[in-house]
Structure 1
Amino acid sequence: MKSRRSFLAAAAGAVLAPQPAGRAEAAPDLDGWARVPGIRRRIRPPRFPRRTFPVTRHGAVGDGTAMCTDAFRQAIAACAAAGGGRVLVPAGTYLTGAIHLADNVELHLEAGATIRFSRDPADYLPVVHTRYEGVELMNYSPFVYAYERENVAITGSGTIDGRADATHWWDWSGDPPPSERPDKNLLAAMAEQGVPVAERVFGAGHYLRPNLIQLYRCRNVLIEGVTVKDSPMWNIHPVLCTNVTIREVTVDSPNGPNNDGCDPESCVDVLIERCEFNTGDDCVAIKAGKNADGRRVNAPSMNVLVDSCVMRDGNGGVTIGSETTGGVRWVYAWNCTMSSPRLERAIRVKTNPDRGGYVRDVYFRDITVGQAADAVIEVALNYENKDTGPYFPDVGAIDVRRLRAGRAPRAFNLIGNPGNPIRGVRVADSVFEEMAEDDVVRGVTGLVLREVWINGRRVDSGG
Structure 2
Amino acid sequence: MQRSPVSRRSFLTVAGASAAATLLPAAVSAEALAAAEATIAGLARDPWDRVPRILARIKPPRFPRRCFDITDHGAVGDGVTKNTAAFAAAIRACNRAGGGRVIVPPGRFLTGAIHLRSNVDLHVQEGATVLFSMDPKDYLPVVLTRWEGTECYNYSSFVYAHGQHDLAITGKGTLDGQGMDGPWKSWRDPGGGQPADQEELRRMGTEGVPVRQRVFGEGHFLRPNMIQFYKCRNILMQDITVLEPAMWTIHPVLCRNVTLQDVDVIGRINNSDGVDPECTSDMLITGCRFHTEDDSIAVKSGRDEDGIRVGVPSESIVVRDCVFSGRWGGIAVGSEMSGGVRDVFAEDCRINPLDFPGRFNPRHPVFIKTNKKRGGYIDGVHVRRFTGRSIDRDCVYLTTRYSNQQGDRPAVIRNITVQDMVHDGARRAINLEGLETDPFVGVHIERCTFTGMAEPNTIGPARDLTIRKVFVNGTEVTYP
Distance 1:147 1:263 in 2: 17
Distance 2:117 2:203 in 1: 33
Q: Which residue does 2:342 correspond to in 1?
A: 329
Contact 2:135 2:182 in 1 (8 A): no
Q: Tell me which structure has the larger Cα radius of gyration.
A: 2
> Are residues 1:349 and 2:368 paired?
yes
Contact 1:236 1:263 in 2 (8 A): yes
Q: Shift of residue 379 of structure 1?
A: 0.3
Q: Which residue does 2:215 correspond to in 1?
A: 201
Q: Shift of residue 167 of structure 1?
A: 5.4
The AA in structure 2 aligned to 1:433 is T
> Are residues 1:428 and 2:474 paired?
no
Q: Which residue does 2:262 correspond to in 1?
A: 248
Classify the secondary structure of the residue corresponding to 1:61.
coil
> Are residues 1:114 and 2:133 paired?
no
The range that moved more, 183-192 or 63-72, is 183-192
Distance 2:410 2:375 in 1: 5
Q: Match for 1:215 among 217, 224, 229? A: 229
Contact 1:28 1:361 in 2 (8 A): no
Q: Which residue does 1:136 correspond to in 2?
A: 151
Classify the secondary structure of the residue corresponding to 1:292.
helix
Where does 1:92-103 land on structure 2 (aligned, <5 Å)?
92-103=107-118
The AA in structure 1 aligned to 2:369 is K
Between Structure 1 and Structure 2, the one with more helix by share is 2
Q: Shift of residue 416 of structure 1?
A: 1.2
The AA in structure 2 aligned to 1:299 is V
Distance 2:461 2:81 in 1: 58
Distance 2:93 2:293 in 1: 37
Per-residue displacement from partner, 1:133-168 (whole Å, max 9, x unpaired)? 000000000000000001000000010001011652
Per-residue displacement from partner, 1:428-455 (whole Å, max 9, x unpaired)? 1100111001222222222201100001
Where does 1:433-448 land on structure 2 (aligned, <5 Å)?
433-448=451-466
Distance 1:131 1:290 in 2: 10
Identical-pair percentage: 45
Q: Which residue does 1:308 correspond to in 2?
A: 321
Q: Which runs of 5+ in 1 are unaligned?
A: 1-26
Q: Which protein, 1 or 2, shows the higher relative CO under an 8 Å CA cutoff with sep ≥ 6? A: 1
Cα distance change, pair 448–217 in 1 and its aligned pair in 2 (3 A): same
Q: Which residue does 2:420 correspond to in 1?
A: 402
Per-residue displacement from partner, 1:224-260 (whole Å, max 9, x unpaired)? 110001111000000000000000000011x210000
Classify the secondary structure of the residue corresponding to 2:309.
helix
The AA in structure 2 aligned to 1:169 is W
Per-residue displacement from partner, 1:320-355 (whole Å, max 9, x unpaired)? 001110000000000100125520110000111111
Contact 1:28 1:424 in 2 (8 A): no
Q: Which residue does 1:390 correspond to in 2?
A: 408
Contact 1:28 1:426 in 2 (8 A): no
Q: Which residue does 1:189 correspond to in 2?
A: 203
Q: Which residue does 2:387 correspond to in 1?
A: 368
Where does 1:31-180 land on structure 2 (aligned, <5 Å)?
31-165=46-180, 168-176=183-191, 178-180=192-194
Distance 1:305 1:244 in 2: 10
Distance 1:327 1:270 in 2: 16
Q: Which residue does 2:396 correspond to in 1?
A: 377
Classify the secondary structure of the residue corresponding to 1:78.
helix
Q: Which runs of 5+ in 2 are unaligned?
A: 1-41, 353-357
Contact 1:284 1:319 in 2 (8 A): yes
Distance 1:237 1:247 in 2: 15
RMSD over aligned Cα, in angstroms? Answer: 1.3
Between Structure 1 and Structure 2, the one with more strand by share is 1
Contact 1:124 1:143 in 2 (8 A): yes
> Are residues 1:281 and 2:294 paired?
yes
TM-score of the superposed pair, with normalisation by structure 2: 0.89
Contact 1:29 1:361 in 2 (8 A): no
Q: Which residue does 1:225 correspond to in 2?
A: 239
Distance 1:112 1:453 in 2: 47
- The alignment of Structure 1 onto Structure 2 pairs a total of residues equal to 433
TM-score of the superposed pair, with normalisation by structure 1: 0.92
